[in-house]
């Protein structure tokens, strides 16, 4: 069969399963709202958790600074050649200081970080143990790495303990990898338990805080700060592209590990560095979010109220964070419900396999601190009607 014909058949099958995706026409973001395909909707599908991306005053101030300092729009090179702008070093120092750790390393994206670190650090004599519901970028990093890997049942730390005990003494190094806030379920890892297991077995612990940074912790450093384990985690990764309203990602680590990654991590070495204009903006948003404890509190309170309202109406709504997923199971029901909410003025995108496991399609409601209960109060009734 010709490749094009095979592609057509597979696309038809995705349509039949209600798993076909297309790029939406997004024209304007305006505060709480977004204009999609000509419709003004309340945006409940954004990862701009603190609303910094819609802070026009902050953006205007940075625009003036950008003009005065003439930050370049491109780095034009990898950091190992001529792309290591002083702002990159400044951003990494700011991150390390904020976390109270030795070193930080900035990456082009969270995907770059996760597909590069495990292949650099682990080899065929090592073992990677990963939470079953970790993000696709972590899974891809495991597949690229030469190390064998196993996936423990989601947040089942007794299962992880069994795997660690069975692997003890058989590998050079065991790596444990988890998200802190799971992006599709909105539930939280038990970081204190993970640190205890890491120390018990001499494992190397990597925690992806992509959805925790900005939302948890007194200074917005994520669930690791809230749990009091910043110093005990070997690598903490975070992203600038969500609550920090910029572009790129970072990892907090020891100076020795940073030096090793600079010399061995392919997704860091072989890519053009982030442009100075982005690095400068990340410094601004990093400082801004660290003082937004009131917004963090109100965001989590809003999410808890919505979750309890939906659960009270008999819906399956897991999690305990600002991410509120309503499980439909059926792909068709998720798509239909999303369309119903869109007609009522809410943008709540459906999430279907392979992003989530089979038969666990859902509507993922992503809240922001700029929202009030009055903005979303109609949602439980709309979903239940």
Q: Which two tokens stand for residue 373?
A: 């209960």
Share of the chain above pLDDT 90, in %: 92
Among candidate residues 364, 356, 363, 358, the one with its CA nearest the CA of residue 136: 356
Mean pLDDT rounded to a whole number for the chain: 95
Position 15 confidence tier, pLDDT thresholds 50, 70, 90? very high
pLDDT (tens digit, 9 = 90+) per residue, 152-170?
A: 999 999 999 999 999 999 9
Q: What is the pLDDT of residue 334?
A: 94
pLDDT at 65 (0 to 100): 84
pLDDT digits (tens, 9 = 90+) for 85-122: 999 999 999 999 999 999 999 999 999 999 999 999 99
Of residues 142 and 27, more confidently modeled: 142
**Secondary structure, 3-state, 329-360:** ECHHHHHHHHHHHHHCCEECCEECCCCCCCCC
Question: What distance in Å separates the CA atoms of residue 228 and residue 329, rounded to the nearest whole number?
Answer: 36
Distance CA 212, CA 206 (A): 14
Q: Sorting pLDDT into bands at 50, 70 and 90, what band is 268?
A: very high
Q: In whole angstroms, what is the distance from residue 144 CA to residue 140 CA?
A: 6
- Predicted local distance difference test score (pLDDT) of residue 316: 94
Q: Which band of pLDDT confidence, cut at 50, 70 and 90, is reported for residue 31?
A: confident
The whole-angstrom distance between residue 325's C-alpha and the CA centroid of its chain comes to 15
Q: Which of 19-23, 108-112, 284-288, 374-378 shows the lowest per-residue confidence on average (mean pLDDT)?
A: 19-23
- Best CA proximity match to 248, nearest among 275, 266, 217, 269: 275
- pTM for the complete prediction? 0.94
| Residue 146: partners with Cβ closer than 8 Å, 6 or more residues away | 119, 122, 123, 124
C-alpha dihedral, 82 to 86 to 92 to 96, nearest 10°: 140
The angle, 0 to 180 degrees and rounded to 10, between the axes of the packed helices 191-201 and 157-167 is 10
The pLDDT, as a whole number, for residue 29 is 85
pLDDT at 27 over 80: no
CB atoms under 10 Å from CB of 218, counted, come to: 10
- Summarised one tens digit per residue, pLDDT across range 58-93 is 999 998 888 877 788 999 999 999 999 999 999 999
Examine residue 354 and say whether the peptide bond preceding it is cis (omega within 30 degrees of 0). Answer: yes
Length of the chain (residues): 385
Q: Do 351 and 184 touch, CB atoms closer than 8 A?
A: yes
Long-range contacts of 238-241 (CB under 8 A, 24+ apart): 238/209, 238/210, 238/212, 238/213, 239/109, 239/110, 239/210, 239/213, 240/282, 240/285, 240/286, 241/47, 241/109, 241/110
Judge whether residue 137 has pLDDT over 80.
yes
CA angle 144, 146, 151 (to 5 degrees): 75
DSSP string, 183-233: TTT--B--HHHHHHHHHHHT-EEEEE-TTTTTTSSTTS--HHHHTT-GGG-
Buried b (16+ CB within 10 A) or exposed e, 114-146: bbbbbbbbbeeebbbbbbebbbebbbebbeebe
Per the CB < 8 A criterion, the answer to whether 273 and 112 are in contact is: no
Which domains, and CATH codes, for the chain? 20-50+292-384 (3.90.1150.10), 73-289 (3.40.640.10)
What pLDDT is recorded for position 25?
86
φ, ψ of residue 202 in degrees (nearest 5)? 70, 30
For residue 285, what pLDDT is reported?
Answer: 98
pLDDT at residue 218 tops 80: yes
pLDDT for 102 equals 98
Burial of 38 (0-12, 13-18, 19+ CB in 10 A): exposed
Is the Cβ–Cβ distance between 51 and 368 less than 8 Å? yes
């Amino acid at each position: 069969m010709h490749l094009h014909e095979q592609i057509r058949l597979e696309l038809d099958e995705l349509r039949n399963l209600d798993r076909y995706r297309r790029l939406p026409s997004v024209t304007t973001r305006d505060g709480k709202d977004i204009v999609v395909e000509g419709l003004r909707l309340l945006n409940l599908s954004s990862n701009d958790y603190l609303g910094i991306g819609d802070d026009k005053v902050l953006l205007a101030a940075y625009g003036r600074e950008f003009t005065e300092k003439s930050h370049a729009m491109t780095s034009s090179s990898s950091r190992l050649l001529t792309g290591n702008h002083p702002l990159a070093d400044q951003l990494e120092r700011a991150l390390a200081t904020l976390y109270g750790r030795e070193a930080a390393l900035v990456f082009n994206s969270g995907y770059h970080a996760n597909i590069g670190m495990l292949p650099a650090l682990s080899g065929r004599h090592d073992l990677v143990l990963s939470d079953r519901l970790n993000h696709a970028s972590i899974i891809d990093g495991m597949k690229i790495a030469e190390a064998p890997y196993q996936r423990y049942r989601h947040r089942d730390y007794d299962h992880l303990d069994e795997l660690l005990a069975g692997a003890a003494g058989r590998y050079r190094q065991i790596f444990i990898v988890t998200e802190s806030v799971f992006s599709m379920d909105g539930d939280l890892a038990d970081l204190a338990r993970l640190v205890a297991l890491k120390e018990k077995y001499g494992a190397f612990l990597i925690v992806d805080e992509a959805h925790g940074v900005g939302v948890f912790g007194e200074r917005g450093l994520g669930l690791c700060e809230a749990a009091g384990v910043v110093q005990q985690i070997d690598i903490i990764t975070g992203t600038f592209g969500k609550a920090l309203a910029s572009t790129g990602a970072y990892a907090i680590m020891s100076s020795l590990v940073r030096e090793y990654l600079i010399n061995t991590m392919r997704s860091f070495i072989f890519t053009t560095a982030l442009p100075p204009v982005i690095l400068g903006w990340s410094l601004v948003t990093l400082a801004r979010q660290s003082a937004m404890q009131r917004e963090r509190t109100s965001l989590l309170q809003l999410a808890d109220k919505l979750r309890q309202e939906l659960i009270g109406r008999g819906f399956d709504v897991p999690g305990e964070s600002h991410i509120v997923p309503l499980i439909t199971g059926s792909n068709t029901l998720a798509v239909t419900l999303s369309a119903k909410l869109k007609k009522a003025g809410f943008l709540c995108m459906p999430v279907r396999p392979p992003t989530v496991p089979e038969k666990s399609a859902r509507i993922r409601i992503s809240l922001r601190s700029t929202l009030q209960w009055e903005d979303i109060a109609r949602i439980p009734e709309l979903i239940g009607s």
